[in-house]
Amino acid sequence: MSKLNVMVLFGGKSKEHEVSLMSATSVLNAMNSEKYNIITVGITKKGVWKRYNGSYGKIQAGEWEQLADEECRNLIGLLGNTTGGENEREIKAYEKTTEQTDNFKIDVVFPVLHGPYGEDGKIQGMLEMMGRPYVGAGVLASALAMDKAMVKKIFSAEKIPQTKYKVIENYKKLIADDVVGEIESKCSYPVFIKPANLGSSVGINKAKNKQELISAIELASKYDKKVLVEEFIDGREIECAVLGNENPIASLPAEIIPSREFYDYKDKYFEGKSKFIIPADIGDGLAKRVKDMALKVYKLIDCSGLARVDFFLERKTNRLLVNEINTMPGFTKISMYPKMWEASGISYEDLVDRLIQLAIEKHKE
């Protein structure tokens, strides 16, 4: 059986660049060299694509860029499997380094990219145009899940239970007191404020009064022109992983017990002080509700490949509320998505293999 040629993309222009480096390092270390010929391409914070052939440890350390080849000018040729000119020379050079003699082409792309310009449908659209199979959700699902304000409107239309929320657009052009008045008429303090189009808890804050609210909106507005304000729920944070295309499956749910007021960016990827309970101690009945709701949300936005669905479980009522869906969740060895599958009987290495196969199957269909 011949090896698959897999291009792993990492880095990117978003504020989640460093998270991508960590996720990609874990994915690359898990890929079996007997199954795959791996071509690694990093995207700098300025959007320059570079071929990288060094050790994977240098990626996570952020040292890959200085060691990478010059700008990958022939990327379109490689992905499109065309020949001629500089592209043909690059193909032959790659064949030589991998001891390949057959006609080189990229069989599947694994975009380990988080946030805008990677998880929001842009890369997915480019790969669709090039006819390349890729891991993860398609253009529509990626774009919807990335825009938390838009997906909340869809949840509302489909009567998916969620928190009260308010979307603020172009805050810099609005009068602060008017914005605060609208929010206070809909939600009581405390509230959460976040950029609509970022993940990994970047730019998120909790406000307990008017002044904190204004400061949090101003901060979130630096990341995105669209800001989401959400009602605070006294609840447990529950997550569920989903895997598959037309017939997806859901993992055992997990619970996060934050070390601070909420599970923020530093704790997710650097400090690691929060506690995780896998599977969540919520009983079989609630666990089934979580899994069923995760699958419902996944199918609702036409997701494929993978996603993590986040919930609040209200303490007093056991009311289950959908928080958000992430189509390319953190993928480090300690990230919740692979940990939930590990507890459900699928190892990290097997998970990577399954995602690659799902990408190929989706493309064939």
| Residue 139, domain member (yes or no) | no
Checking 71-76 for CB contacts under 8 A at 24+ apart, the result is 72/41, 75/41, 75/49, 76/130
Task: Tell which residue, 230, 221, 229, 214, has the closest CA to residue 172.
Answer: 221
Cβ burial of 159 (10 Å; 0-12, 13-18, 19+) is exposed
The answer on 89 and 11 residing in a single domain is: yes
pLDDT band at 69 (very low <50, low <70, confident <90, very high): confident
Q: How confident is the model at residue 86 (pLDDT cuts 50, 70, 90)?
A: very low
Confidence (pLDDT) at 172: 75
The vertex-147 CA angle with 260 and 292, nearest 5°, equals: 75
Is the domain of 215 the same as that of 274?
no
- The tokens describing 163, both together, are 């928190």
Q: Do 271 and 290 sit in the same domain of this protein?
A: yes
Distance CA 209, CA 262 (A): 17
Establish if 140 belongs to a structural domain: no
| Confidence band, pLDDT 50/70/90 cuts, at residue 104 | low
Question: And the tokens for 3?
Answer: 């090896």
pLDDT confidence bin for 175, thresholds 50/70/90: confident
Residues 121, 214 share a domain: no
Q: How far apart are CA 33 and CA 255, in angstroms?
A: 34
Q: Is residue 263 situated within a structural domain?
A: yes
What is d(CA 294, CA 329) in angstroms, rounded to the nearest whole number? 14
For the cut 70, the answer to whether the pLDDT of residue 107 exceeds it is: yes
Give the rounded percent of residues in the chain with a pLDDT score beyond 70: 85
Give the closest residue to 217 by CA, choosing from 185, 188, 192.
192
- Confidence category of residue 255, pLDDT binned at 50, 70, 90: very high
Evaluate whether residue 40 is within a structural domain: yes
93 pLDDT more than 70: no
179: domain CATH number? 3.30.1490.20
**Confidence at residue 97, expressed as pLDDT on a 0 to 100 scale:** 44
Tell whether 273 and 223 lie within a shared domain: no
Q: How confident is the model at residue 76 (pLDDT cuts 50, 70, 90)?
A: low
- Short-list 189, 170, 339, CA closest to 252: 339
What pLDDT shows up at residue 349? Answer: 97
> 339: domain CATH number?
3.30.470.20
The pLDDT of residue 264 is: 53
Q: What is the pLDDT of residue 267?
A: 56
Task: Give the whole-angstrom CA distance, residue 26 versus residue 112.
Answer: 10
- Between 222 and 296, the more confident residue is 296
* Residues 239 and 254: beta-carbon distance below 8 Å: yes
What's the mean pLDDT in 178-202?
85
Mean pLDDT for the chain overall: 87
**Which tokens hold the place of 287?**
């666990």
Percent of the chain, pLDDT > 90? 70
Same domain, 212 and 255: no
Q: Are residues 129 and 8 in the same domain?
A: yes
pLDDT band at 96 (very low <50, low <70, confident <90, very high): very low
More confident call, 91 vs 297: 297
pLDDT at 98: 41
* Tens digits of residue pLDDT in 298-324: 999 999 999 999 999 999 999 999 999
Q: Give the DSSP H/E element, type plus range, for residue 272.
A: none
Residue whose entry in the numeric block shows the structure tokens 């055992």: 252
Domain around 357 = 145-149+153-160+234-364
- Compare 233 and 69 and report the one with higher pLDDT: 233
- pTM (2 decimals)? 0.87
Over the stretch 270-287, which tens digit does the pLDDT of each residue have?
A: 556 778 999 999 999 999
Q: What is the pLDDT of residues 126-141, one digit of tens each?
A: 999 989 999 999 999 9
Between 103 and 223, the higher pLDDT residue: 223
In this predicted structure, the answer to whether residue 99 has a pLDDT above a threshold of 50 is no
- Transcribe 44-108 into DSSP letters: -TT--EEEE-S-THHHHTT-HHHHS-SB-TTHHHHHHT--SHHHHHHHHHHHHHHT--SPP---E
Question: Are 257 and 306 found together in one domain?
Answer: yes
CATH of the domain at 35: 3.40.50.20
pLDDT value of position 15: 85
Q: Is residue 260 scored above 80 in pLDDT?
A: no
Beta bridge partners of 43: 11, 49
Q: Minimum mean pLDDT among 29-43, 79-93, 169-183: which range?
A: 79-93
Distance (Å, rounded) from C-alpha 72 to C-alpha 43? 10
Which of 191, 213, 231 is the last residue before a domain boundary? 231
pLDDT at residue number 272: 62
How much is the pLDDT for 174? 79
Residue 213 pLDDT greater than 80, yes or no: yes
